[in-house]
Structure 1
Amino acid sequence: MIIPVSGGEPGLLEHLQQIREAGDVPLVGDPRWSTAHWGAMVEAATKAELPDGTAWATLTSGSSGAPRIVLRSAESWDDSFAAVSRFLDAGHGENVALPAPPASSLTLFSLAHSLSGGPRPMLRVTPDADALHGTPQALRAVLDAGAPPRLRAALIGGSHLDPALRRRAEAAGIRVTAYYGAAELSFVACDEGDGLRPFPGVDLEIRDGELWVRSTFIASGYAGAPGPLRRDGEWATVGDRAELVDGRLRLLGRADDAILSASATIVPEEVEAVLRSIPGVRDAIVFGLPSGPIGALVSALLELDDDAPVDVRPLAAAQLAPAHRPRRWFAGEIPRTASGKPARAEAVRLVQSGEVQSLAV
């Protein structure tokens, strides 16, 4: 059975071990959740029919909506531990800092790794950290605060890693490996500085523009509400659009994130990549705002450096086709999930409720 656990409780690692040794399946939640949200998760967990061999229950990030419970076997994580240890350059007895909350699959993976002889987990960054497993935002915070003297490697996932942030980390003596993955697929591709290549043990295939993955890391399914995971024999997909160019994976976003505006289909990630290249733009999230008969207006929420230029719009217009240019612009902090991924649905809500300001020019 699934045993819900609060990620804020003391002795979390020991509690997870006890649950696993009893033959049950831990599900770590966020202590910041509302009572109603906790209730919904507990109800879904209680009703779940578990496939044989289920060892872990994790949560999707909820970057596009409500999180789902993902079920997986022990082997689906165990099989990637050796590669992760190499990327972290850390093993048993060494310390890996985990800034994301334990409710995120990113951190829960590292807790499971520790129980199988991996690095010692630290749920905050301390001077004793030898490695970091977290999001780009966590890496930026570590560098802003002054990197711990022993920190030598970082494994970064959850969202886009700015090349300038990678260079900054490397200048501080930190070797950075970025990766793309999903709660349902686990690790898919990794980037050590020359583009995303298949993660060790993973095969990739593009079918009609959609990314399909074959590995032993794939989850068993869901508890409660179904999700985007689809299977075809040993292959699986969550609907991400992508292309393979010279052996490198180029991600084009989730198919259901596409913006339909007039007669055009706009992939938000392609526009975001252009916006991030503009000096002064730290990060960007692009989404559609409903606009009657044309479908949606392409809109952008930007996180700007203090000295951001005033010519963001013309610089974007010089690089984007007319249909792909944002028509509405906003500035402010990009909302993120607990694990640090940009939360597109929440960005739309913030704009519609007037909680972020239009970008001044």
Structure 2
Amino acid sequence: MDMTELRLVPGTPSAVLSALTGVLDGSGTPFAPVPADRAAAERVRQAVAPDEPLETDDCAVVLGTSGSSGEPKGVLLSKAALVASASATHDRLGGPGQWLLPMHPYFVGGLQILTRSVLAGLSPVVAADHPSFSAAAGVMTAARRYTAMVPTQLSRYLDTEVEALRSFDAIVIGGAAMPLELKQRAAAAGVTAIPAYGMTETGSGCVYAGEPLQGTRLALDDGRILISGPTLFSGYRLRPELTAEVFQDGWFRTQDRGRLVDGRLQVIGRLDDVVISGGVNVTLPAVQARLLEHEGVGDAVVLGVPDAEWGTRVVAFVVGRTGQAGREELRDFVAETLPRTWAPRDVVQLDALPMLASGKVDRQLLLERLR
């Protein structure tokens, strides 16, 4: 097969591990893992365009992004980027070890668990092959043991699998911001949970607990987080104009806002998390954080929705913890510490937030509920 061609492989742990081992040792060809779900698979195919020649000759894997806040894109990752990310992660955590895979390997977090496993020369343990997380952890044999998961998984396992969580030397938390309450719960339980910041374009997490991994550099441009280093992707599949837009002078310009506090990166939110509603700038993460402080709110997401009267209408999607807190109660609660003009205009009560397979909230599906 011509190395400029891209092959699709099933997004199962065994198939991805086999394909990944091939590109890492030089015997395989570039591939794109595809989930089993038909709709998700079709989005991946559109993003990775398997019938078109690859733009670069150093591509190892093409991953389709989840499209949680926009259209999916194909992300070109080289062998060098994958290896740099995996090696820097092991260096930060204290050395190579055995990894447990509790997530899908067609997302970068799961893919990199497999990359680290190949480099460590240790077989990964697939959580789905065992009746429980504890059972999966129980079959691990290496002296050093690691896993990675999204905050939602950690929260659930803290309720049911604490002993298993404690058995890991480190648990990398990515895919979404790790709430302060969750950090405190993990610490109180004796669980070593390390929040990581990164994305598909950075080869998975590249900043651990606010500090960049070896080789990664950070900068801020009017609050926008810029990243440079060996783990960065090569570009977007067949999107040279978008690639040129996000790569400038060797820096990847993310869509996230942040700040440096005592040399550590604090991620504040996405650039589009500040909306103008009725002429007032509203910081959506601040409203969301305040709602989560309400005793009756178990989970919440706050979005800006186009509105003819307000320009953008602030809408809160809320999962009740002990019954449903009403719209006016929640608006008043927000207004106790934030400007009244920031209080959500609408409150949508849900039994649970819709989640993508990546562990991120499906914002597009929430917006569709309002149409």
TM-score when normalising by structure 1: 0.85
1:14 corresponds to: 18
SS at match of 2:120: coil
Once the two structures are TM-superposed, the CA of residue 9 in structure 1 deviates from its matched residue by 6.9
List per-residue Cα deviations over 1:107-155 (Å, max 9, x = no partner): 0111122222265323323132533211001112222332326334210
Structure 2 residue corresponding to 1:135, chosen from 150, 154, 159: 150
What amino acid is aligned across from residue 43 of structure 2 in structure 1? H
Q: Is the Cα–Cα contact under 8 Å of residues 316 and 325 in structure 1 kept in the other structure?
A: yes
Q: Quick one: percent identity of the two aligned structures?
A: 27
Query: What does 1:165-244 align with in structure 2 at a 5 Å threshold?
Result: 165-186=182-203, 187-191=205-209, 196-225=210-239, 227=242, 230-244=246-260
Once the two structures are TM-superposed, the CA of residue 166 in structure 1 deviates from its matched residue by 2.3
List per-residue Cα deviations over 1:275-309 (Å, max 9, x = no partner): 23333433321112222142121011123323676
**Bigger shift: residues 52-61 or 220-229:** 220-229
**Bigger shift: residues 134-143 or 81-90:** 81-90
Structure 1 residue corresponding to 2:362, chosen from 343, 357, 360: 343
**Matches of 2:16 and 2:60 in 1, distance apart?**
16
Which structure 1 segments of 5+ residues have no match?
353-361
2:55 corresponds to: 50
List per-residue Cα deviations over 1:1-56 (Å, max 9, x = no partner): 221111137554124324554441121121113264355346x1321433132122
What amino acid is aligned across from residue 306 of structure 2 in structure 1? P
Q: Displaced runs of 4+ in structure 1, greater than 6 A?
A: 307-310
Give the paired residue count.
345
**Matches of 1:30 and 1:166 in 2, distance apart?**
31
**Bigger shift: residues 300-309 or 266-275:** 300-309
1:84 corresponds to: 89
What amino acid is aligned across from residue 316 of structure 1 in structure 2? V
What amino acid is aligned across from residue 317 of structure 1 in structure 2? A
Q: Is the Cα–Cα contact under 8 Å of residues 146 and 170 in structure 2 kept in the other structure?
A: yes
Q: Is the Cα–Cα contact under 8 Å of residues 45 and 224 in structure 1 kept in the other structure?
A: no
What amino acid is aligned across from residue 211 of structure 2 in structure 1? R
Once the two structures are TM-superposed, the CA of residue 215 in structure 1 deviates from its matched residue by 1.4
1:327 corresponds to: 345
What amino acid is aligned across from residue 127 of structure 1 in structure 2? A
Q: Is 1:303 the equivalent of 2:319?
A: yes
Q: Is 1:75 the equivalent of 2:89?
A: no
Q: Is the Cα–Cα contact under 8 Å of residues 152 and 173 in structure 1 kept in the other structure?
A: no
Once the two structures are TM-superposed, the CA of residue 314 in structure 1 deviates from its matched residue by 2.2
**Matches of 1:231 and 1:10 in 2, distance apart?**
34
List per-residue Cα deviations over 1:332-355 (Å, max 9, x = no partner): 222222110122222211343xxx
Question: In 2 relative to 1, CA 114–315 (structure 1 residues): closer, same or farther, beyond 3 Å?
Answer: same
1:355 corresponds to: none
1:357 corresponds to: none
1:150 corresponds to: 167
List per-residue Cα deviations over 1:301-335 (Å, max 9, x = no partner): 12332367664332211122123211111222222
Q: CA RMSD in A?
A: 2.6
Question: In 2 relative to 1, CA 327–264 (structure 1 residues): closer, same or farther, beyond 3 Å?
Answer: same
Question: In 2 relative to 1, CA 202–12 (structure 1 residues): closer, same or farther, beyond 3 Å?
Answer: closer
**Bigger shift: residues 305-314 or 53-62:** 305-314
**Matches of 1:251 and 1:338 in 2, distance apart?**
23
Q: Is the Cα–Cα contact under 8 Å of residues 88 and 154 in structure 1 kept in the other structure?
A: no
SS at match of 2:195: strand
**Matches of 1:9 and 1:201 in 2, distance apart?**
29
Larger RCO (alpha carbons 8 Å, 6+ apart): 1
**Matches of 2:86 and 2:20 in 1, distance apart?**
18
List per-residue Cα deviations over 1:44-78 (Å, max 9, x = no partner): 13214331321221222311023211002112121
1:274 corresponds to: 290
